[in-house]
Amino acid sequence: MAKDQTTNPKARSWINVDPESHFPIQNLPYGIFSRRHEPKRACVAIGDQILDLALLYDEGLLSQGHIPFNVFALDRLNEFMACGRPAWQSIRRRLFEILEEKTADLRDNRELQKRALIPMGEVQMHLPVFIGDYVDFYSSEQHATNVGSMFRPDNPLMPNWKHLPVGYNGRASSIVISGTPIRRPNGQILPPNEEKPIQSASKALDFELEVGFYAGKANELGTRVATSDAEDYIFGLCLVNDWSARDIQRWEYQPLGPFLSKSFGTSVSPWVVTLDALAPWRVSGPRQSPAVLPYLKYSGKWRFNIELEVWLQSEKMSAPQRICKTNFKNMYWNMAQQLAHQTINGTNVQVGDLYASGTVSGDKPDSYGSMLELAWRGERPIALNETGETRAFLHDGDVVAMTGYCQGDGYRVGFGECVGQIQPAKEIA
């Protein structure tokens, strides 16, 4: 197979892209945008602009062999995703070609450029995908061990953890686009040293740094997806913040797992970075011991070297402070195994389903992907250096910004940001 030119590190666009931009010509992540009162439609990011794909299609610039109609004029990516991997790849190759410095089609058409390229500051981004189902995994060994050791010091990892990628069915309706404020949830909590619960706003609101993938292909109910076919089912990746109310969670989670402690809001980044764009950052490992069952065996590189960071800014601070730096390659279970496990019982994956990785934690104290771990259950509050404030959990007004990128030689393939600000709880009578 010919080497994929769309990831060539030496490729350059006729559009000027800063070396620290997340959106060079090698990335071309998909999103849904709107401007003023115009309808939502699909775009890719290039430098600090977006490229209007619906317009390019209408102007006849996109190869239309695999695309039955102008799927880019819709307010979600699902229909494009459903066109399948050959279509994803041919559109990616064509977009790359249009933006490459040697191609004149758009480069020399100033009139079309004015309409097709829009500064990011002038557009509003929307949820890129209609998400029918949402699953959250728990695939970082370090995270599972950290959390387990707080609640079960003698037995941090449950006996099943190394045999299957633990997960739960989450709530899709409350998934929101980056920038949407997050309301502190009310619920039931059991105060320390009490026997009866109270109704209260959560006092232990937390974030979870995760990476998710959108399914781009469906399997029929009753069939399964083999790890060797997983590639065709994964359209692209995004950043996910699985907001979590730890006090509500602690009281409700046994015996059936998290329920209202997670369902009040989940934030996703606006950009979907394709598997093809991430190909140069795929790495192998880890060694899984004990050996997994046959349906979870896989081949190829299924870890991704994606630098991840979390930044926190209180209302008093003038700039955010980085509180976590970790890497997605830390994960124990991978996306191919998650899909194979999800469908081993015949569950039907649908186009647009979101699968989140679980909190990404590394082995250093500043590489933990939640405040529960960073502040170790409140025992080691995080110091906010600018104002002298401390944080065990999130306060009203706090802004949490997650970011992630793959570092290349002189360029970055990134995810942009996933941001949310905490709003005070609603009064409950």
**Catalytic residue positions, numbered:** 143
Span from 30-38, 206-214, 226-234, 361-369 in contact with Ca ion (CB under 5 A): 206-214
Extended beta strands in 207-352, E state = 209-215, 234-241, 244-245, 266-268, 273-274, 282-283, 303-304, 307-313, 321-327
**What region, left, alpha or beta, does residue 241 occupy, with left being phi > 0 and alpha being psi -120 to 50 degrees?**
beta
Could you tell me how many residues of this chain bind Ca ion (CB under 5 A)?
3
| Choice between 246 and 391, CB closer to Ca ion | 246
| Choice between 355 and 411, CB closer to Ca ion | 355
Q: For Ca ion, what does the binding mask look like between residues 400 and 429, x meaning CB under 5 A?
A: ------------------------------
Alpha helices, DSSP H only, in 307-361? 335-343
Tell me how far, at minimum, the Cβ of 419 lies from Ca ion, in Å. Answer: 18
Q: For Ca ion, what does the binding mask look like between residues 149 and 188, x meaning CB under 5 A?
A: ----------------------------------------
Q: Does 247 bind Ca ion (CB under 5 A)?
A: no
| Choice between 242 and 353, CB closer to Ca ion | 242
Identified binder of Ca ion from the candidate list 133, 136, 252, 417, rule CB under 5 A: 136
- What radius of gyration do the chain's Cα atoms show? 22
For residue 256, give every residue at least 6 positions away whose Cβ sits within 8 Å of its Cβ, in sequence order, or none.
none
Tell me how far, at minimum, the Cβ of 256 lies from Ca ion, in Å. Answer: 16
Distance of CA 346 to the CA centre of its chain: 25
C-alpha–C-alpha distance, residues 76 and 84, integer Å: 15
DSSP string, 57-120: HHTT-S--TT-SS-GGGSSSSHHHHTT-HHHHHHHHHHHHHHHBTT-HHHHT-HHHHHHHEEEG
Find the angle CA(402)-CA(174)-CA(166) to the nearest 5 degrees. 70
Tell me how far, at minimum, the Cβ of 176 lies from Ca ion, in Å. Answer: 16
Tell me how far, at minimum, the Cβ of 240 lies from Ca ion, in Å. Answer: 8
Within 347-366, the residues that bind Ca ion by CB under 5 A are: none
| Choice between 14 and 168, CB closer to Ca ion | 168
| Choice between 72 and 243, CB closer to Ca ion | 243
Asked if 15 and 47 count as a contact pair (C-beta separation under 8 A), the reply is yes
Q: Identify the three-state secondary structure at position 239.
A: strand
End-to-end C-alpha distance for the chain, whole angstroms: 65
Tell me how far, at minimum, the Cβ of 362 lies from Ca ion, in Å. Answer: 16
| Choice between 244 and 274, CB closer to Ca ion | 244
Span from 72-80, 171-179, 237-245, 397-405 in contact with Ca ion (CB under 5 A): 237-245
Element (DSSP H or E) covering residue 276: helix 275-278
Tell me how far, at minimum, the Cβ of 170 lies from Ca ion, in Å. Answer: 8
Q: Does 206 bind Ca ion (CB under 5 A)?
A: no
Burial 327-351 (b: 16+ CB within 10 A, else e): bbbbbbbbbbbbbbbbbeeebbbbb
Span from 185-193, 198-206, 207-215, 399-407 in contact with Ca ion (CB under 5 A): 207-215
Tell me how far, at minimum, the Cβ of 36 lies from Ca ion, in Å. Answer: 36
In the bound complex, which residue of the shown chain has the CB atom lying closest to Ca ion? 242
Q: Identify the three-state secondary structure at position 339.
A: helix
Alpha helices, DSSP H only, in 304-418? 335-343, 371-374
| Choice between 141 and 242, CB closer to Ca ion | 242
Provide the token pair at 173.
């309706």
Q: Does 208 bind Ca ion (CB under 5 A)?
A: yes
Span from 32-40, 114-122, 202-210, 396-404 in contact with Ca ion (CB under 5 A): 202-210
| Choice between 90 and 174, CB closer to Ca ion | 174
| Closest C-alpha among 41, 13, 242, 63 to residue 137 | 242
Asked if 125 and 118 count as a contact pair (C-beta separation under 8 A), the reply is no
Identified binder of Ca ion from the candidate list 52, 206, 242, 247, rule CB under 5 A: 242
Span from 59-67, 121-129, 205-213, 331-339 in contact with Ca ion (CB under 5 A): 205-213
Span from 103-111, 134-142, 272-280, 336-344 in contact with Ca ion (CB under 5 A): 134-142
Q: Which residue ranges make up the site for Ca ion (CB under 5 A)? A: 136, 208, 242
